[in-house]
Amino acid sequence: MESMVMTEEAWRHHNVFITGGPGLLGSSLIKQLLTKKANVIALVRDQVHHSPFYKDGHDKQVTIVKGGVEDYHTVERALNEYEIETVFHLGAQTIVGTALRSPLSTFESNIKGTWNVLEACRQSKMVSRVVVASSDKAYGTQKNLPYTEDAPLQGRDNPYDVSKSCTDLISLSYHKAYGLPVGITRCGNFYGPGDLNWNRIVPDTIRSLYYGKNPVIRSDGTYIRDYVFVDDGAHANITLAENLHRPEIQGNAFNFSTGNKVSVLELVKKITTLFPSTLEPVILNQAKGEIKDQYLSSEKAKRMLNWEAQHTIDQGLVKTIAWYKEFLIKHG
């Protein structure tokens, strides 16, 4: 199906399929698409009832297909029965620690899941654009930073990084070999309201401070990361989808970031100050299998897509802390 120009009006009643809908990024993306009056069909494997997807009532505003990306026939059926035009493939196992403990399930979800979605899109007569969520982890360890899109994909420090390199390469191959209108997002570390993976640094730090406990840093605190507010990440996905009618955009990957590199210790101190609290972090220096420094250049996205992040890290953290304080009052 030929890609059309996506305007605000074009999203109205446009059939959109999202994998990973209840997740942090998926919840924000669904919220933005519902604002545009799109028809959203979400693939849902697990019911995480306190996630914004359920908390904000999005489960009652979208069509839910039960299943996982590992099941090709479920994905294929959904695309055909609901006449899907745009696909956002976000579904993945996203935790490095989980990948280290369970590499096979990570590979099943992130690699097999990606080829299942792409093959189902290729076989579909209706899909006109596919946005695939990769990650800055796909680059692996690089000598030259910040990462730019022409850097080689060489994730190998842990199974998660490997899976994201594979996700990226498989997606590019489906455009090169079959002409599938694919675009790839490579974002930094997402944070924001609704992240219930408590082993991540932002929610864990906020929860610790809320209960009067010292925040815990697994690494030595000097690891550098690129943190992206989740609403900016959702907007990045929509912006890329809106530009996939352009031949020069198809088959391309784009970095999306704030352009600000922050060490883990600096991030924890920012959260502590904004909370506010005087508690000092406990540094365990036990991190394994993680890349030391990772941050992105999003100049290509700015130049070709006219995209820029709308939140500084302080602005994003203020919104995030407020959400968790309200959440913890209600749910502990």
Report the alpha-carbon distance of residue 232 to residue 224 in Å, rounded.
Answer: 20
CB-CB contact of 228 with 186 (8 Å): no
Closest CA to 19 of 82, 60, 59, 65: 65
Report the alpha-carbon distance of residue 68 to residue 85 in Å, rounded.
Answer: 20
Structure tokens at 125: 């007569």
Q: Which residues contact 279 (CB under 8 A, 6 or more apart)?
A: 208, 209, 212, 213, 214, 215, 272
Q: Which residues contact 82 (CB under 8 A, 6 or more apart)?
A: 15, 17, 39, 41, 63, 65
DSSP-based three-state secondary structure for 92:
coil
CB-CB contact of 7 with 37 (8 Å): no
How, if at all, do strands 224-229 and 261-263 pair? antiparallel
DSSP-based three-state secondary structure for 59:
helix
The distance in angstroms from the start CA to the end CA of the chain is: 48
Q: 37 — phi, psi (to 5°)? A: 70, 25
Q: How many CB atoms lie within 10 A of CB 122?
A: 15
Q: Point out the catalytic residue in the list 82, 139, 147, 160.
A: 160
Active site residue 227: no
Report the alpha-carbon distance of residue 276 to residue 224 in Å, rounded.
Answer: 23
Active site residues: 160
